[in-house]
Chain A
Amino acid sequence: MIPYLVTVRHRRSDGRWLRLYIPVLPILLVLSPLLLLGGLAACLATRVSPVGALRGTGRLLWALPGTRIEFEQGRTALLVSVR
């Protein structure tokens, strides 16, 4: 399943939280022309098979849901969660 929401939460030293909700699918759709062109150029430059790269990236995207990364240092914290 493709990730649908990435949540980034940042707690500043003053204790205030900054929350960022990133809907993955709409952003991917908006950026898809740019990503495709950039990816194709990168594949040609590095002589990597574009089909293989696309398949690998797809697998990576599909496997992302469930990832959670949390860092806390004193009063500051950074939490990233992929759902």
Chain B
Amino acid sequence: MNEQRRQILEMLAEGKITADEAERLIDALERQRPESPQGTASRPRPRPKYLRVVVNSADDSGDGPSRVDIRVPLQLLRAGVRLTSLIPPQALTKANAELTRSGVPIDLTELKQQHLEELIEQLDEVDIDVDDPDSSVRVFCE
């Protein structure tokens, strides 16, 4: 029970206010209450819309420093993942054979669309920051 409600009940017990007045005051308190937490609560963080990849590297070839800045909508990644369901099985088999021959034994047929979509969903929180004396790489969502 909060302090204001207690004071109203004490005033009622002491006979300073009538039961109707106490009810009206408590109703007024109830109406005020939902507004106060909204004012104090922090606003939810907006959901990221883009995946950013920023690479800065110092001059190592004599051409000057290089910079790569890529911004891809997360929606595009989701659409791309859905396209994987269109890949014919025989193409996946051939890709698996080539990957195995290259020393990367990954079975692409085991990659399910649902798993990839879950992966994209979790990308929101990704923040990769690699700092090197000559270059820096940052992958994040914004």
Contact = CB atoms under 8 A, between A and B. Distances in A.
Interface string B40-52: 0000000001100
B55 to A, nearest CB: 9
A49 B85 CA distance: 10
A70 B70 contact: yes
Contacts of B68: 70-72
Interface residues of A, number: 24
Given A70-B67, A73-B64, A48 B73 contact: no
Interface residues of B, number: 25
Interface string A47-75: 11100110010011011111111111111
Contacts of B79: 56, 59-60, 62-63
Q: Which secondary structure dominates where chain B touches chain A? A: mixed
Contact of A73 (B63, B71, B83): B63
B66 A63 contact: no
Q: Which secondary structure dominates where chain A touches chain B? A: mixed
A63 B70 contact: no
A75 B82 CA distance: 39
A56 B86 contact: yes
A1 to B, nearest CB: 11
Interface in B49-77: 49-50, 59, 63-73, 75-76
